C-alpha cells in the first residue's frame, strides 16, 4: 500500500442481486490530487463513492481511504473525509449558523472552535446578512457553497463531492471550482463526480466509468491525445457510444 | 456526551420552528381528551322505551309511570298493538318494548302473579344486558310496592321481603364514568403523539437526504438514537403534565397516588414507545409507510389495552397477546396509581415488564439503525 495515496481501490465490486453496479474497479488517487470521477447516469459513480465513504458495504474487493480500510475501519475513514452529496443535505428548517453548529457538534468540535469556524465560514462566503436566515430560503448556488463549507468543518484530508454543481448557474459553478482549488492548494485531496465536461478539464486526472467499469483513466490532456479529440466532451461521447 | 447535546438541540429547534406541528402536538390531544372523555361513555342512558298496555288499569299505568320516572328511560310511546311496536323497533324508533298483558291487574290480585313480556333490541349485546337489568329493577320495585299494597288489603300470603344489597363502590364512589376513562384516554394520547413523532422522525431525514450526511460522520449509533429519543421523551412528559392538569381541573379526577411514581413509570413507558417508533422508522423508506405501520400497531394496542373492553373477557390467545401490549400496562398503572393510590410494590410487575420491553425495543432500535448498508 502506497502511503502517498489518499485513496487506493482494488477490484472493488458491488452487486445488487443479479445487477452489477460496480464491476471490479481499481484505481489510486494521490494526496492533494483533484480527481474527476466521470460517467453517465447509472454508470455506478454514486455507488462506488458510497462504498468509499463507508455507507455502503462492497460485495468484494478492497478500498483504502486515508490509509483506513473502508470495511473494517469505516468510522475512522469518516473522521478523515468530508462529503457533499448530490442531494442537498443541510437542514432547510435551520439557519446557516445552526447548521454549522449542528454538523460541527456531531463531528465532535469544541464549542469555541465551532464559534471561530462559523465566523470564518460566514466571512469567507460573504453571508453576514444571511447567517441567521433559514437555509431553505437561500438560492441553490449559495446552499451548495454552504454545504461545501460545512463538509470542511472538521478539516478532513479528503473531500468527496457528488455532483456538487448540478443545477447551478455558470458563474456560481466557476466560484465553486475556485473554492475546490483553494482546498486542493491546502493539500487536500478532492474526489469529485460531475456531468459537466468543462469541469473535467479542471481536474488533475479523470476516470470515466461506463456500465460499472472504469474505461479510461488519465490526465485530461492525455485522454484527449489518446482519443484524438479536442475536448473532454468528445472523449466522453466516444467512450459512452462505443458501449452502446 | 457533547455530541448527543448537539443532536438534542437541533431536534428541539426543528420542533419549535415548525409552527404547524406545535398545535398538532399540544392542542389537538387536549381537545381529544376533553371530547373523548365526555363522549366515550358506556353508561346506558336515554333508552328509547315503548310499551303496549293491553290492561289499561291503574296498576298498569302505575307500572308505566315508574319507567317514566326513571332517568334511564325516555318513555316514548304507547303502541296500540304488538305489530306496530315491532315495526317501530325495526325502524330504530324504540329499543325496549314492554308488553303488559290483558288482565294484568286481575291476575296479580287473584293469582298473585302475572307475566310481562319484554323485547329488547340486542344488536349491541352489552347495552341490551344493561337495559334488561334496569327494566328488572323497576319491575322489582313495582313488585315490592304491590306486595305491601296487597298486604294492607289483607292478603296474608304476601309477605314483604326486605332483603336488600347495599353495594359499596370503591375507588370511584360516585361511579363516575370519566374517572375510569380520563386516565386511559390520557395514556392513548401520550402514546399516539410519541409513537407518531418518533416513527416519522428518522424516516423523514432519510427522505430529505440528511440521514446520509449524518451517516458519513463518525457519530456513534447510540449517540444518534439517544439524541433522537430524548426530545420526544420530554415532549411526552409535557403532554402528560398538561393532561393531568386538565384531568384535575376539568374532570376533577381523584389523584390518590404518588405523582412522582406516575412520572417515573411514564418515563420508562415512553422509552418503549419511542423504541418502537424508531424501530419502525429504521425499517421504512417513506413517512407514508411509517405512518401506516404505526397505525397498525396503534389500533391493535388501543383495542387490546383493556381500556374499552376488559382483557379478562378476551379469548385466551388474545390475553396472551396483550402481554406484549405496552398500553395495557400503562392503563393499568395509571388507574392503579391515580385512583387506588398504588405504590411501587403494587405496580412492580408492570414496571418490570415495561422496563424489559424498553430495553429490548431500544436495543432493536440501535441495532436496526444501519450506518452502513
A156: CATH: 3.40.50.300
Considering only CB atoms, A85 lies closest to which of B5, B10, B212, namely: B212
ipTM over 0.85: yes
Burial of B46 (0-12, 13-18, 19+ CB in 10 A): exposed
- CA nearest A53 in B: which residue? B216
- Verify that B317 and B346 share a domain, yes or no: yes
- CA nearest A159 in B: which residue? B216
- Cβ-defined contact of B213 to A89 (cutoff 8 Å): yes
pLDDT at B157 over 60: no
- Verify that B341 and B201 share a domain, yes or no: yes
- Cβ-defined contact of A55 to B212 (cutoff 8 Å): yes
Tell me the three state secondary structure of residue B7. Answer: helix
Q: pLDDT for A227-236, tens place per residue?
A: 888 888 888 8
Please check whether residue B3 touches A, CB under 8 A.
Answer: yes
B92-113 average pLDDT score: 82
Which residues of B fall within a CB distance of 8 Å from A79? Answer: 218
pLDDT at B266 over 90: yes
- Verify that B114 and B188 share a domain, yes or no: no
Element (H, E) at A130: none
To 10 degrees, what angle do helices B2-17 and B221-249 make?
A: 50
Tell me the three state secondary structure of residue A11. Answer: strand
Confidence grade of residue B162 (pLDDT, cut at 50, 70, 90):
very low
Confidence grade of residue A1 (pLDDT, cut at 50, 70, 90):
very low
Residue range(s) defining the domain that contains residue A201 = 31-45+74-243
Which residues of A fall within a CB distance of 8 Å from B16? Answer: none
- Cβ-defined contact of A91 to B14 (cutoff 8 Å): yes
Confidence grade of residue A239 (pLDDT, cut at 50, 70, 90):
confident
Residue range(s) defining the domain that contains residue B77 = 47-152
Q: pLDDT for B46-65, tens place per residue?
A: 888 888 888 888 888 888 88
- Cβ-defined contact of B218 to A75 (cutoff 8 Å): yes
The alpha carbon of residue A57 is apart from the nearest alpha carbon of chain B, in Å, by 6
Q: In what order do the strands lie in the sheet with B73-78?
A: B73-78, B47-53, B96-100, B117-120
Please check whether residue B210 touches A, CB under 8 A.
Answer: yes
Considering only CB atoms, A106 lies closest to which of B208, B212, B214, namely: B214
DSSP structure class, residue B336: I
A209 domain residue, yes or no: yes
Element (H, E) at A25: strand A19-30
To 10 degrees, what angle do helices B326-335 and B259-283 make?
A: 170
pTM: 0.79
- Cβ-defined contact of B14 to A102 (cutoff 8 Å): no
Q: Which of the residue ranges A101-105, B5-9, B170-174, B217-221 would you say has the lowest mean pLDDT?
A: B170-174
B286 domain residue, yes or no: yes
B163 domain residue, yes or no: no
Q: Which residues contact B113 (CB under 8 A, 6 or more apart)?
A: B107
The answer to whether A201 touches A232, Cβ cutoff 8 Å, is: yes
B144: CATH: 3.40.1710.10
B226-251 average pLDDT score: 91
pLDDT at A244 over 60: no
What total of structural domains would you count in chain A?
1
- Cβ-defined contact of B216 to A54 (cutoff 8 Å): yes
Please check whether residue B208 touches A, CB under 8 A.
Answer: yes
A10 domain residue, yes or no: no
The full length of chain B comes to 373
Please check whether residue A164 touches B, CB under 8 A.
Answer: no
Q: Which of residues 44-63 of A touch B (CB under 8 A)?
A: 50, 53-57
- Cβ-defined contact of B372 to A74 (cutoff 8 Å): yes
Amino acid at each position: 500500500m502506497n502511503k502517498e495515496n489518499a485513496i487506493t481501490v482494488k477490484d472493488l465490486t458491488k452487486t445488487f442481486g443479479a445487477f452489477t453496479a460496480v464491476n471490479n474497479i481499481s484505481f489510486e488517487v494521490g494526496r492533494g490530487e483533484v480527481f474527476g470521477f466521470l460517467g453517465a447516469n447509472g454508470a455506478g459513480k454514486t455507488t462506488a463513492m458510497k462504498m468509499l465513504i463507508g455507507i455502503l458495504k462492497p460485495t468484494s474487493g478492497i478500498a483504502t481511504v486515508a490509509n483506513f480500510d473502508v470495511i473494517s475501519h469505516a468510522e475512522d475513514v469518516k473522521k478523515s473525509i468530508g462529503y457533499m452529496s448530490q442531494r442537498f443535505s443541510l437542514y432547510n428548517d435551520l439557519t446557516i449558523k445552526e447548521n454549522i453548529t449542528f454538523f460541527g457538534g456531531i463531528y465532535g468540535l469544541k464549542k469555541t472552535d465551532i464559534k471561530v469556524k462559523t465566523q470564518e465560514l460566514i466571512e469567507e462566503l460573504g453571508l453576514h446578512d444571511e447567517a441567521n436566515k433559514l437555509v431553505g430560503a437561500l438560492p441553490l448556488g449559495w446552499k451548495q457553497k454552504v454545504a461545501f463549507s460545512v463538509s470542511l468543518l472538521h478539516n478532513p484530508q479528503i473531500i468527496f463531492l457528488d455532483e456538487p454543481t448540478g443545477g447551478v448557474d455558470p458563474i456560481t459553478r466557476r466560484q465553486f471550482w475556485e473554492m475546490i482549488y483553494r482546498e486542493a492548494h491546502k493539500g487536500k485531496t478532492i474526489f469529485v463526480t460531475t456531468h459537466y465536461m468543462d469541469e473535467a478539464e479542471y481536474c488533475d486526472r479523470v476516470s470515466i466509468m461506463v456500465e460499472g467499469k472504469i474505461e479510461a483513466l488519465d490526465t485530461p490532456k492525455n485522454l484527449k491525445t489518446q482519443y484524438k479529440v479536442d475536448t473532454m466532451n468528445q472523449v466522453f461521447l466516444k467512450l459512452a457510444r462505443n458501449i452502446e | 456526551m457533547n455530541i448527543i447535546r448537539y443532536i438534542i438541540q437541533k431536534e428541539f429547534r426543528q420542533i419549535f420552528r415548525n409552527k404547524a406541528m406545535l398545535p398538532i402536538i399540544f392542542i389537538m390531544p387536549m381537545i381529544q381528551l376533553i371530547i373523548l372523555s365526555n363522549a366515550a361513555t358506556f353508561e346506558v342512558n336515554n333508552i328509547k322505551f315503548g310499551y303496549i298496555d293491553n290492561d289499561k288499569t291503574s296498576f298498569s299505568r302505575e307500572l308505566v309511570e315508574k319507567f317514566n320516572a326513571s332517568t334511564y328511560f325516555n318513555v316514548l310511546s304507547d303502541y296500540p298493538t304488538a305489530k306496530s311496536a315491532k315495526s317501530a323497533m325495526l325502524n330504530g324508533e324504540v329499543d325496549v318494548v314492554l308488553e303488559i298483558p290483558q288482565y294484568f291487574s286481575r291476575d296479580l290480585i287473584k293469582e298473585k302473579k302475572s307475566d310481562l313480556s319484554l323485547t329488547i333490541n340486542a344488536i349491541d349485546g352489552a347495552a341490551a344486558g344493561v337495559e334488561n337489568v334496569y327494566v328488572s329493577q323497576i319491575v322489582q320495585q313495582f313488585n315490592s310496592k304491590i306486595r305491601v299494597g296487597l298486604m294492607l288489603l289483607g292478603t296474608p300470603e304476601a309477605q314483604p321481603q326486605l332483603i336488600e344489597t347495599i353495594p359499596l363502590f370503591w375507588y370511584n364512589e360516585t361511579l363516575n364514568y370519566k374517572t375510569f376513562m380520563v386516565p386511559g384516554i390520557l395514556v392513548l394520547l401520550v402514546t399516539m403523539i410519541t409513537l407518531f413523532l418518533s416513527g416519522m422522525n428518522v424516516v423523514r431525514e432519510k427522505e430529505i437526504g440528511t440521514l446520509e450526511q449524518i451517516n458519513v460522520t463518525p457519530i456513534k449509533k447510540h449517540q444518534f438514537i439517544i439524541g433522537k429519543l430524548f426530545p420526544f421523551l420530554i415532549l411526552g412528559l409535557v403532554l402528560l403534565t398538561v393532561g393531568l392538569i386538565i384531568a384535575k381541573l376539568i374532570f376533577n379526577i381523584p389523584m390518590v397516588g404518588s405523582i412522582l411514581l406516575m412520572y417515573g413509570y411514564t418515563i420508562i413507558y415512553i422509552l418503549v414507545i419511542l423504541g418502537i417508533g424508531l424501530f419502525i422508522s429504521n425499517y421504512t423508506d417513506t413517512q407514508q409507510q411509517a405512518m401506516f405501520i404505526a397505525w397498525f400497531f396503534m389500533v391493535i394496542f388501543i383495542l387490546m389495552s383493556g381500556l374499552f373492553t376488559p382483557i379478562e373477557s378476551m379469548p385466551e390467545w388474545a390475553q396472551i397477546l396483550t402481554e406484549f401490549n405496552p398500553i395495557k400496562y400503562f392503563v393499568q398503572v395509571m388507574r392503579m396509581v391515580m385512583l387506588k393510590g398504588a405504590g411501587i410494590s403494587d405496580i412492580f410487575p408492570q414496571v418490570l415488564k415495561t422496563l424489559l420491553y424498553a430495553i429490548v425495543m431500544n436495543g432493536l432500535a440501535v441495532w436496526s439503525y444501519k450506518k452502513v448498508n
